């Protein structure tokens, strides 16, 4: 018998199981993922374990958050291996719905963020500018997962820092009764941020990829030491191209909550960056201490 986490595929089964737990007075945590689980995902399961009695992990490769020409078709799908990994964690149940279960015929609703009185739209800057429509897909599917499961708490990794900010925003705006937790960004031994897409990198690219983390560390040091923010961003972009990345989508010192670019360093600042290598976009971000 294989040692794999039990799984369900329908909203009805999910609601029945959650209702049984609720009748026993237990709290529920949700860890939404797209599968191809690595130690970053497993750390989210561990992190939520002290905040909920029962843990549901979802795996759903959400087509609506992939743009035209992106890697939806080749995105790694390895559910059996994922279930075996999850069996070694405190997770209690895998929810892995089909595309038809999530988007049945006739589906036509979307969750879209817009600008507010004080700030431009959070989903149109940085990742949103590079991947138009991406965050509508994320906001819609995460809303659905939260409403299907109705957990007490849900956790999302800080590697996708902007995604976490978007989720916090619409959960607050739509009064979805769930606590959103951020999970610490997990790195490989050489500093590369853990990601399901790292498997696309060959040995040489993998060495280059690790330099993203070093370049960002240097930027953080430089701006903490008083360097002009725009000059530090430009130096980091140049260093990434010099290191062998094929393009730099952005390197931005931003406010840690609104993600708007900063003119001068303030408390809670963060650097967010995306550099391209071997046809993939590598995301990273790092906290900056105010001077």
Just list the catalytic residues.
Answer: 41
CA distance 160 to 284: 8
Alpha helices, DSSP H, located in the chain: 11-23, 39-49, 79-86, 99-102, 127-130, 134-149, 161-173, 203-209, 211-224, 229-243
**Closest approach of Cβ 60 to ligand PAF, in Å?**
6
Q: How far is the CB of 270 from ligand PAF (least distance, A)?
A: 18
Instruction: Give the contact letters, 272-291, x = binds to ligand PAF (CB under 6 A), - = no.
Output: --------------------
Q: In terms of C-beta distances under 8 Å and separation of at least 24 residues, what long-range contacts does 105-110 make, across chains too?
A: 109/140, 110/136, 110/139, 110/140
- Taking CB atoms within 8 Å and a gap of at least 24, the contacts of 49-53 are 49/89, 49/90, 51/27, 51/152, 51/153, 51/179, 51/181, 52/27, 52/28, 52/151, 52/152, 52/153, 53/21, 53/26, 53/27, 53/28
Q: Which CB atom, from 167 or from 236, has the smaller least distance to ligand PAF?
A: 167
Closest to ligand PAF by CB, 123 vs 163, is: 163
Q: Which of 32, 40, 182, 183 binds ligand PAF (CB under 6 A)?
A: 32
- Closest approach of Cβ 262 to ligand PAF, in Å? 25
Nearer to ligand PAF, 26 or 81 (CB): 81
- Looking at the Cβ atoms of 125 and 141, the one nearer to ligand PAF is 141
- The binding track of 157-196 with respect to ligand PAF, each residue x by CB under 6 A or -, is ---x--x---------------------------------
Cβ of residue 195: shortest distance to ligand PAF, in angstroms? 10
Cβ 274 vs Cβ 257: under 8 Å? no
- Beta carbon of residue 143, minimum distance to ligand PAF (angstroms, whole number): 10
Task: Give the C-alpha separation, 253 to 269, whole Å.
Answer: 7
Asked if 100 and 9 count as a contact pair (C-beta separation under 8 A), the reply is no
Residue pair 9/97 in contact by the 8 Å Cβ criterion: yes
Examine residue 34 and tell whether it contacts ligand PAF (CB under 6 A): yes
The number of residues that bind ligand PAF (CB under 6 A) is 11
Distance, in Å, from the CA atom of 194 to the CA atom of 216, rounded to the nearest integer, reads: 16
Q: Among residue numbers 120 through 159, which ones bind ligand PAF (CB under 6 A)?
A: 138, 141-142, 156
For residue 235, the minimal CB distance to ligand PAF (Å) is: 30
Q: Which is nearer to ligand PAF, 182 or 256 (CB)?
A: 182
* Of 223 and 280, CB closest to ligand PAF: 280
The pair of structure tokens assigned to 254 is 């931003």
Phi, psi of 25 (to 5 degrees): 80, 20
Sole window of 29-37, 74-82, 180-188, 234-242 interacting with ligand PAF (rule: CB under 6 A): 29-37
Q: Which two tokens mark 255?
A: 């406010």
Q: By rule CB under 6 A, what string of x and - marks binding of each residue 62-101 to ligand PAF?
A: x--x------------------------------------
| Residues lying near ligand PAF in the complex (CB under 6 A) | 32-34, 62, 65, 138, 141-142, 156, 160, 163
């Amino acid at each position: 018998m294989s040692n794999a986490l039990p799984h369900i595929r329908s909203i009805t089964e999910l609601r029945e199981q959650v209702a049984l737990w609720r009748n026993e007075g237990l709290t529920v945590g949700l860890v939404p993922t797209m599968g191809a689980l690595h130690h970053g995902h497993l750390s989210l399961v561990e992190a939520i374990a002290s905040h909920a009695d029962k843990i549901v992990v979802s795996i759903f490769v959400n087509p609506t958050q992939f743009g035209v020409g992106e890697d939806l078709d080749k995105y790694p799908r390895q559910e059996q291996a994922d279930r075996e990994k999850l069996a070694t964690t405190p997770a209690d149940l895998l929810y892995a719905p089909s595309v038809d279960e999530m988007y049945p015929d006739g589906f036509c609703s979307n969750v879209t963020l817009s600008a507010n009185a004080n700030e431009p739209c959070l989903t149109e800057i940085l990742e949103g500018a590079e991947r138009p429509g991406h965050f509508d897909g994320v906001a819609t599917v995460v809303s659905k997962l939260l409403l299907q499961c109705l957990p007490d708490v849900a956790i999302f990794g800080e590697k996708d820092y902007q995604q976490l900010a978007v989720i916090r925003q619409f959960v607050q705006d739509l009064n979805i009764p769930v606590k959103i937790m951020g999970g610490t960004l997990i790195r490989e031994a050489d500093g590369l941020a853990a990601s399901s897409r790292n498997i696309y990198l060959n040995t040489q690219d993998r060495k280059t990829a690790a330099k993203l983390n070093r370049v960002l560390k240097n930027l953080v040091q430089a701006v903490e030491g008083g360097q002009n923010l725009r000059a530090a961003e430009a130096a980091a972009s140049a260093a990434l191209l010099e290191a062998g990345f094929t393009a730099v989508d952005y390197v931005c010192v931003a406010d840690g909550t609104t993600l708007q670019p900063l003119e001068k360093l303030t408390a809670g600042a963060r650097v967010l960056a995306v550099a391209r290598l071997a046809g993939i976009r590598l995301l990273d971000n790092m906290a900056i201490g105010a001077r």
